[in-house]
Amino acid sequence: MSATTSDPRLAPTRQAPKQRMQLSWTDPRFRNLVWQALVLAIIVAVIWYLVGNTRHNLEARHIATGFGFLESTSGIPIGEQMIPYTSGASTYLRALTEGVLNTLKVAIVGVILSTILGTIIGVGRLSPNWLLAKITAVYVEVIRDIPVLLQLLFWYVLLQGLPAPKASIRLGSAVFLSNRGIKVPLLVWEDAHTWALVAFAVAIVLTFLWRRRVHRQRDLTGTAPKVWPVALALLIGLPVIVWAIFGAPLTIDMPQLHGFNFSGGGTITPEYGALTLGLVIYTSAFIAEIVRSGIQAVAQGQWEASQALGLHRGQTLNLVVLPQALRVIIPPMTSEYLSLAKNSSLAVAIGYQDIVSIASTILNQTGQAIEGIAIIMLVYLTISLSISLFMNWYNAHIALVGR
């Protein structure tokens, strides 16, 4: 080799030399490859066996596969209806949809309420107020130590133990607690209300625009009007005006006691009430601990630096502590939301007709076990992935830059 071409510093693009793998057990790269190939082979073999075995058994028992049964008429009575459904006339597909909606109704309301309750209790545990701190501590310690199924049964038995409609407990003039559930007044929905709702949505947009304007003005001049009075006027005033323009209809469907039962009004069934209440109370204890640990994870020095600069406690919490605490809170909070959504399947124990309950009944009636279980799995997978995706997006949105 001549000296002019062999100097590596003169070569314009010099690449890292390729390391060749030795076909020897002492080369870790070779070892890794062998292990990975082995694991892959085992997985393929297990799937092969399961599929083959299932097909063989289905054929032996003369069970047809496929989702055709979804179009057949369902004979399942459903008490908890979100969409119109008639037993003996509607299809299995509609029954399943009812189940999914019922599961979502518990999961969404549960996530919102347990977040609010959990945050209040978590902040309460950090309060300098001795009584509040102790009460919330006892709440957390007691609630999270009792199995959730037991709690659901407790609330269900409690709600079932309420007096019969004739002797129902009245809260105010129009709310009745009885063993038929909680009866509440219901607004008779008319077009005016739909338009009022649209006006409310418009008001939200206007409030955001107003807030942005105020912030811009504050950036320019240092002082600016408060956001909330105008926001309040917009959010309340606009829907009320629209509602008034449409004639201000206001018919309220009041629950009435007739003989042994109620007519009219809306109902929160004992099953739904017990399931939601039980899940919210159970999950909120865990969320409280997550919120508490998140706030405590922010160093004491952050409070001190902020206060030394003259910021008040509220400003410190909002601008300095919470933005940092959220980063610690969000990942475990996602797990709690996922647990709540999946724990809603305990509905079966107290007779609430969620997706598991309805799919199991269909499975019994049609014998389509594999399809039934697949549908349940698909529903939970979709719900869980949606929660995960949303929370991961939110987490990335607030992620700490520069760490």
Partner 1 sequence: MSQTNEAPEAAIVLDRVNKWYGAMHVLRDVSITIGKGERVVVCGPSGSGKSTTIRCINRLEEHQQGRIVVDGTELTNDTRALDTIRREVGMVFQSFNLFPHLTILENCTLAPIQVRKMPKAEAEELAMSYLRRVKIPEQAKKYPLQLSGGQQQRVAIARALCMKPKIMLFDEPTSALDPEMIKEVLDTMVGLAETGMTMVCVTHEMGFARQVANRVVFMDRGEVVESGTPHEMFENPQTERLQTFLSQILRGH
Q: Is residue 395 close enough to count as binding partner 1 by CB under 8 A?
A: no
Decide if residue 42 touches partner 1 (CB under 8 A): no
Q: Which residues of 19-56 are buried (b: 16+ CB within 10 A; e: fewer)?
A: eeeeeeeeeeeeeeeeeeeeeeeeeeeeeeeeeeeeee
177 bridge partner residues: 169, 182
DSSP state, residue 398: H
Query: Smaller CB distance to partner 1: residue 88 or 222?
Result: 222
Size of the residue set binding partner 1 (CB under 8 A): 28
In this structure, are residues 254 and 185 in contact, taking their beta carbons and an 8 Å threshold? yes
Cross-strand bridge partners of residue 183: 176, 267
For 252, the 3-state DSSP assignment is: strand
From 85-93, 278-286, 307-315, 386-394, span contacting partner 1 (CB under 8 A): 307-315
* Contact with partner 1 (CB under 8 A) among 310, 393, 396, 397: 310
Q: Is 315 in the site for partner 1 (CB under 8 A)?
A: yes
Q: Where are the alpha helices (DSSP H) in 61-178?
A: 92-125, 130-143, 148-160
Q: Any contact of residue 307 with partner 1 (CB under 8 A)? A: yes
Among 7, 71, 145, 219, binds partner 1 (CB under 8 A): 219
The residue among 303, 299, 294 whose CA lies nearest residue 325 is 294
Give the nearest distance from C-beta 115 to partner 1 in angstroms. 22
The interface with partner 1 within residues 359-378 (CB under 8 A) comprises: none
State the Cα–Cα distance between residues 251 and 118, nearest whole angstrom: 36
Tell the smallest beta-carbon distance from residue 401 to partner 1 (Å). 5
Q: Which stretch binds partner 1 (CB under 8 A): 99-107, 193-201, 252-260, 303-311?
A: 303-311
Q: Is residue 220 within the footprint of partner 1 (CB under 8 A)? A: yes
How far apart are alpha carbons 359 and 376 in whole angstroms?
Answer: 7
Question: 23 or 220, CB closer to partner 1?
Answer: 220
Asked if residue 299 binds partner 1 (CB under 8 A), the reply is yes
Q: Is 309 among the residues that bind partner 1 (CB under 8 A)?
A: yes
The binding site for partner 1 (CB under 8 A) comprises 218-223, 299, 301-302, 304-312, 315, 319-320, 323-324, 327, 400-403
